[in-house]
A = this chain, B = another copy of it.
Amino acid sequence: MTGSPFDRLRERLAEVSDLTKAATLLVWDQRVMMPPGGAEARAEALGTVSRLAQERFIDDEVGRLLEELRGLEESSGYDSFEASLIRTTRREYEKATRVSPELVGEMRRASALGLSAWGPAKESSDFEQLRPHLEAQLELRHRYVSCFPAGDETYDVLLDDYEPLMKTAEVRQVFTELKDELVPMIEEIRDAGDVDDSFLRGEFDPATQRKLGLEIVRAFGYSEDEWRLDETGHPFMTTPGAGDIRLTSNFRPHDLSSLFATMHEFGHGVYEWGVDRSLARTPLHTGVSLAVHESQSRTWENLVGRSRAFWRWFYPRLQQAFAAQFGSIDEETFYRAVNKVQPSLIRIDADEVTYNLHIILRFELEQDLIDGRLAIPDLPDAWNARMDEYLAVDVPDAARGVLQDMHWAGGALGYFPTYALGNVISVQIWERALEDLGDLDERFERGEFGDLREWLRQHLYTLGARYTPQETIERVTGSRIDAKPYLRYLREKLAPQVA
């Protein structure tokens, strides 16, 4: 290999990125296109491509280059491409090389086994079927944690995989603030009586839902040139390459959740879409963390997609498309229905407010597990007790309780908090955008979302992963992560229901 050490590092990282993008496509295709008969071959191909990407990254040559490049990093400005790439790569390299390939392999296998066991266990609502897998996962997490120097808290190591450099203590502080205000707020709303949303359930032709979803995201910035929208069971967004953003949604025939899922995935997609293209084929060409990513999916799903102004624009179109269901429902009634707050069992169906408590519950249980305060066999009871405490909801069975999510079965401990952090961050960024752009309602009412998208692109998306998540949030909002703007937003929005 020739060229400067920096060129050689870039070349190596480009190769790793290419392999990772190939793996991304293998997964997208598996979930969206592949006939079931291809499963075995696909697992093999995916295993090989992912392993090679990992091997090429943790190779000693990368370590040597990073050492050689300390001088360049120090002499380049902190904001420079060179310093950002070397800094970020070093951090990821040091993490990756701490864990033995054997442990990585064991975790990957346990994850596959756990995920395979999860479906049937949930199906039969039998926690016992999943218990040994969860115990194995917990044991592996302990081994994983022991690869790293002891931090302030054990959970810090788990959190760092999803929200780099974020500390458990900081999340706890944010979540305590949320909990202290949201638990009573939810009680108040419950006492205020019911909002009618029965008209949101009925017959909604999936093809029409897809057309409407496309109409919305086209107004947001989706184009056929660089995007796709396909159907899946569990909506997700992925990008197999710069300029190639793939959304999926589930067009369920009996409700309109696909519209919100499509906007949600658009938010993830537009973040990736907006990253500075000159960062392509480096580890900087991606959203900076799961929480910041979620802040953008929630921005487009909730701050935009559940706003009055948005529905002033779109409700007439929806009414026209589903005249039988909405002919006699006025905009105000519809708006209140899609913003209805009501404690319920299932996280992914939860409203904007109660959603956070589903997350806080999981965050607390995860810490209890990893710190040894809670044993896996006692998990269902602990779950049910907290559901009662926070949401006054009775859990009738494990399927609708502790077995509802696949995350723990796959070994993902530390992931859940990023969902609620995303809610918090979304409003911090939103308030800054409004300071610059002024009130956006009139633009939304006309179906114009370009100013918001461009502001977000220029201030956030373009940065990619040049900085840490915390640096990124501070650069965009001027402050650290802070629950107050989000709580203020919820109070204002829900005043009619609370009052």
Let me know if B14 and A44 touch, CB within 8 A.
yes
Selected from B18, B34, B225, B281, the residue in CB contact (under 8 A) with A49 is B18
Which residue on B lies nearest to A240, using beta carbons?
A: B38
Interface status of A422 (Cβ within 8 A of chain B): no
Interface status of A227 (Cβ within 8 A of chain B): yes
Question: In the complex, what's the smallest C-beta–C-beta distance from A457 to chain B, in angstroms?
Answer: 16
Let me know if B35 and A18 touch, CB within 8 A.
no
Interface status of A169 (Cβ within 8 A of chain B): no
List the B side residues contacting A228 at CB < 8 Å.
33, 35
Q: A35-B228, A36-B225, A228-B35 are in contact. Are A22 and B49 (CB under 8 A)?
A: yes
List the B side residues contacting A39 at CB < 8 Å.
243
Q: A25-B29, A35-B226 are in contact. Are A244 and B49 (CB under 8 A)?
A: no
Interface status of A160 (Cβ within 8 A of chain B): no
Let me know if B37 and A225 touch, CB within 8 A.
yes
Copies of this subunit? 2
Interface status of A329 (Cβ within 8 A of chain B): no
Cα A429 to Cα B212 with chains together (Å):
53
Let me know if A240 and B41 touch, CB within 8 A.
yes
Selected from B34, B42, B244, the residue in CB contact (under 8 A) with A42 is B244
For A21, A23, A39, A228, the residue with the greatest tally of chain B CB atoms inside 10 Å of its CB is: A21
Query: For residues 208 through 229 of chain A, which have their beta carbon under 8 Å from a beta carbon of chain B?
Result: 224-228
Interface status of A19 (Cβ within 8 A of chain B): yes
Cα A228 to Cα B40 with chains together (Å):
17
A1-45 to B contact mask, C-beta < 8 Å, 1/0: 000000000000011001101110110010001111111111011
Question: In the complex, what's the smallest C-beta–C-beta distance from A265 to chain B, in angstroms?
Answer: 15
Interface status of A411 (Cβ within 8 A of chain B): no
Query: For residues 64 through 111 of chain A, which have their beta carbon under 8 Å from a beta carbon of chain B?
Result: none
Which residue on B lies nearest to A49, using beta carbons?
A: B22
Which residue on B lies nearest to A28, using beta carbons?
A: B29
Cα A281 to Cα B48 with chains together (Å):
12
Interface status of A52 (Cβ within 8 A of chain B): yes
Let me know if A243 and B14 touch, CB within 8 A.
no
List the B side residues contacting A227 at CB < 8 Å.
35
Let me know if B45 and A21 touch, CB within 8 A.
yes
Interface status of A241 (Cβ within 8 A of chain B): yes
Count of A interface residues, CB-CB < 8 Å: 39
List the B side residues contacting A225 at CB < 8 Å.
35-37
Let me know if B18 and A224 touch, CB within 8 A.
no
List the B side residues contacting A34 at CB < 8 Å.
240, 244
For A33, A41, A281, the residue with the greatest tally of chain B CB atoms inside 10 Å of its CB is: A41
Cα A10 to Cα B425 with chains together (Å):
51
Let me know if A37 and B280 touch, CB within 8 A.
no
Interface status of A341 (Cβ within 8 A of chain B): no
List the B side residues contacting A281 at CB < 8 Å.
41, 44
List the B side residues contacting A226 at CB < 8 Å.
35-38
List the B side residues contacting A243 at CB < 8 Å.
35, 37-41
Interface status of A47 (Cβ within 8 A of chain B): yes
A483-496 to B contact mask, C-beta < 8 Å, 1/0: 00000000000000
Question: In the complex, what's the smallest C-beta–C-beta distance from A311 to chain B, in angstroms?
Answer: 29
Let me know if A41 and B242 touch, CB within 8 A.
yes
Would you mind naming 30 contact pairs between A and B with Cβ atoms under 8 Å apart?
A14-B44, A14-B48, A15-B52, A18-B44, A18-B45, A19-B48, A21-B45, A22-B22, A22-B26, A22-B48, A22-B49, A29-B29, A29-B240, A35-B227, A35-B228, A35-B244, A35-B245, A36-B226, A37-B225, A37-B226, A38-B226, A40-B242, A40-B243, A41-B240, A41-B242, A41-B244, A41-B280, A42-B240, A45-B241, A52-B52
Top-10 shortest CB links A-B? A41-B241, A38-B244, A37-B243, A37-B226, A18-B48, A18-B45, A38-B241, A41-B242, A21-B45, A37-B225
Given A15-B48, A37-B244: 20 more A-B contacts, CB < 8 Å? A14-B48, A18-B45, A18-B48, A19-B48, A19-B49, A21-B45, A22-B22, A22-B26, A22-B48, A25-B25, A33-B228, A35-B224, A35-B244, A36-B226, A37-B225, A37-B243, A38-B226, A40-B242, A41-B240, A41-B280
